[in-house]
Structure 1
């Protein structure tokens, strides 16, 4: 699935490469012409007609390539975001959960020693961790532990 923006960026990149190539050719022609002349007054026409425009084309080609690649990256990010947004509702329908369903629903509360949060037992932050222990009521009441923002356990759960 290619977006229209991706297709419109490619000509900019091709134009950048073409400008770089033309600028390089003009610089080589200018250098060749300057190297064949002994006096500076005979070298100036080559500098004015080939080398200066060649350098300008090289700069313009670099700008076009930079812009084209940045636009290409932005278009790809937009395309991926569109795919992600389009896929999200389908995932929620397949699992049978509403988008606002809680992440964890267990009534058992756990904490990690030395941590600052308390969690439901099925919270992804503590699930499967051997070091997780049941919550110490004293730490919760003293305010040393706060509820996890992911699984959002309420104090009434404890």
Structure 2
């Protein structure tokens, strides 16, 4: 991915440098031609044929170089992001040299008091923190917490938390009580 994008960026940078050099040469030639002429009407052809196009090339070069540098920086940011979130064993390895595993796979959900995210229990952001608490389904329903972008817990994980099974069983128990009370009456 990086090499394909760099193939698109490098010609833009080389074109920018070439335009800058050509514009500078044209401006110098225009200045040299103007400086040798005494009358303004004889200076005008040098101005029109060298200096103005040279200045336009310098401006175009500035635009091309800025675009190329921004694209190069974006390529580097994408590469770093890819290394940060890589989960394939071929993409990245841990410091010990072993293959990297998925970030988190646990179904238990935790939160840190005062935090804004809910996490899987084996998420690196909450793993080993004694202050991490199980997530209550009422807190999730209230929308006070957002899912962690690192471990990416899903809504189906909510049912595996200690508070999760009681919520689905509660509404299911109410209709079963209705027919039993109707049968008794």
Structures share fold, TM-score greater than 0.5: yes
Aligned match of 2:26: 26
Distance 1:71 1:133 in 2: 43
Query: Which stretches in structure 2 are left out of the alignment for 5+ residues?
Result: 91-97, 164-185
Spell out the pairing of 1:6-155 with structure 2 (5 A cutoff): 6-7=6-7, 9-73=9-73, 80=79, 88-90=87-89, 103-105=105-107, 112-114=112-114, 122=122, 124-132=124-132, 140=136, 143=138, 145-146=139-140, 149=147, 152-154=157-159
Query: How far is 1:16 from its partner?
Result: 1.6
Matched, 1:157 2:162: yes
Query: Which stretches in structure 1 are left out of the alignment for 5+ residues?
Result: none
For normalisation by structure 1, the TM-score amounts to 0.57
Across the aligned residues of Structure 1 and Structure 2, the Cα RMSD in angstroms comes to 4.3
Kindly indicate whether the alpha-carbon contact (under 8 Å) linking 2:110 and 2:133 is maintained by their aligned counterparts in 1.
yes
For normalisation by structure 2, the TM-score amounts to 0.51
TM superposition outliers: structure 1 runs of 4+ over 6 Å: 116-120
Aligned match of 2:168: none
Query: Aligned residue pairs: how many?
Result: 143
| Per-residue CA distance 1:52-101 (angstroms, 9 max, x = gap) | 121122123233334444554565667x39x76xx63437xx87x7x7x9
